[in-house]
Chain A
Amino acid sequence: MPDIKCIGISTGGGDAPGLNAVIRAVVKTAILKYGWKVIGIPDGYDGLIYPERSRELTLTDVSESFRAEEPFSAPPIAAIRFTSNPARTATR
C-alpha cells in the first residue's frame, strides 16, 4: 500500500457528459473511504504549470454537481482543452 495523503485530479480534452460525476466520485471516495485530501487542477496539465490556479476540493464542492454538466460554482475544474504538452514540447 503506497503512502498517500493527497491526490490531484485533472481533465483534458473536450467536455463530456458525466465528467462531473467522475470528479464527484473521485473526491468522495478519496475523502470518505481513504481520508485523503483532493486538489482540483484546472486547465488540464496547464494547471500544473500554473499551480496557483489549483485548489482543494471538498465534499461541499461536489455535492449535487453530477446532475448537470455545468462547471462547479467556484473555479471550475471541468474540461478545458490542453494547450500544451509540457513533456513533449522540447523536441519540436
Chain B
Amino acid sequence: MIKDISGQVMYNAKNLGIDALVTIGGDGSMRIALDFAEKGMKLVGVPKTIDNDLCATEVTFGFGTAVSTATDAIDKLHTTAESHHRVMVVEVMGRDAGWIAIEAGVAGGAHIILIPEIPFTIQKVCDQVAMREKYGKRFTIVVVAEGIKLPPEMKHMTRAIPVGNMIGDAIMLLSHRDVRVSVLGHIQRGGSPTPYDRVLATRFGVAAVDLIARGEFGKMVRLHNGCITSADISEAIGKMKAVDPNGELVRTARAIGISFGD
C-alpha cells in the first residue's frame, strides 16, 4: 500500500521554518518540484545534469567536467591502441543524448563516434577500421555513447552488459581484430569541476536566491544567449535536447574524417 505523504512533507518544511526551497536537479527532480509548487510550496529550481540534454538551458554545470574526464581517458588510450594495434572502444555517459560522446570524441581524436541520434551498423564501423589499415593506421578509437540504439543485426542481444562491451564483441566477431573495451562510468560524474563549471554553478546559485528574493517562484534558472535568465519549470521540463544529426557539430566531426558508423 503506497500513500501520498506530500502533506506531511509540506508540514515538515513549514515546521523546519523553511519559507522557500531551492531544489537542484534534473528532469525527474523538477517534475516532483512542480507537484509541490502546485500544492503551494514556494520553490525555485537549478537545472543539474552532466548529460547536457535539457532544452531549457544552453549548458549545464558538470557537462564540461565530464567531457574533460572522457577526453583525458581517450588521450591515454591512444598510446596503447597505437602500440598494440588495437581497436579501442570507450563507452561514455550521456543518457539518451550523444553530447559527451561527440565532444569528447572530437576533442580526444576518436576515429569513430556512435551516438543515439545517428543510426549505425557494425559493418560500417568495421569498414572504417579496414580503411584506416589501408592507410597504414593499425588502430582505431571508437567512442560509444551509453544510450545508443543497437543496430538491427544486434537486436537479438540482451543488454545485460554495458553497450560498450556489446559493440566491442560485435566488432571483434566481424572484423577479427584485437578489441579492448573501457567503460568509463561514474568517474565522469565526479572529480574537481572545471573553472567554467564552477563559475556557471555559482551564477546559477546566486540567481536562484535572487529569484526567491523577487518572489518569482515556480521558475528555474538557466543560461540563455550567454546570460543567466529564468524559465517556468512547467515549460522547461520534458523537452530533451539531442545532438542534431545534420547540425554544425556533426558536420565539423565529419569534416575532419570522423565516422559515425552510418
Contact = CB atoms under 8 A, between A and B. Distances in A.
Interface of A: 1-19, 21-26, 29-30, 33-34, 37, 39, 41, 44-45, 48-49, 51, 54, 66-69, 79, 82, 85-90, 92
Q: Tell me what chain A mostly uses at the interface: helix, strand, loop, or mixed.
A: loop
Task: Please give me the 10 A-B residue pairs with the lowest Cβ-Cβ distance, nearest first.
Answer: A25-B205, A90-B4, A16-B62, A18-B61, A12-B29, A21-B201, A18-B201, A17-B65, A87-B35, A17-B193
Given A18-B65, A69-B193, A86-B9, A13 B16 contact: no
Contacts of B42: 2
18 contacts: A1-B214, A6-B17, A8-B20, A11-B23, A11-B24, A11-B29, A14-B189, A16-B61, A21-B197, A22-B48, A25-B209, A39-B18, A51-B15, A69-B190, A82-B32, A86-B5, A87-B4, A89-B4
B18 A21 contact: no
A51 B12 contact: yes
B202 A4 contact: no
A16 B50 contact: yes
Interface in B165-213: 186, 189-194, 197-198, 200-206, 208-210, 212-213
A92 B3 CA distance: 9
A32 B8 CA distance: 31
Question: Interface size class for chain B?
Answer: 35 or more
Interface string B211-236: 01111000000000000000000000
B130 interface: no
Given A12-B28, A21-B193, A51-B16, A34 B209 contact: yes
Nearest to B8: A49
Contacts of A21: 61, 193, 197-198, 201-202, 205
Given A37-B17, A51-B15, A15 B190 contact: yes
A18 B198 contact: yes
B19 A49 contact: no
A69 to B, nearest CB: 5
Contact of A30 (B4, B39, B209, B215): B209
A29 B19 contact: no
B161 interface: no
Contact of A12 (B2, B24, B35, B212): B24
A90 to B, nearest CB: 3
Given A89-B4, A89-B5, A5 B190 contact: no
B221 to A, nearest CB: 10
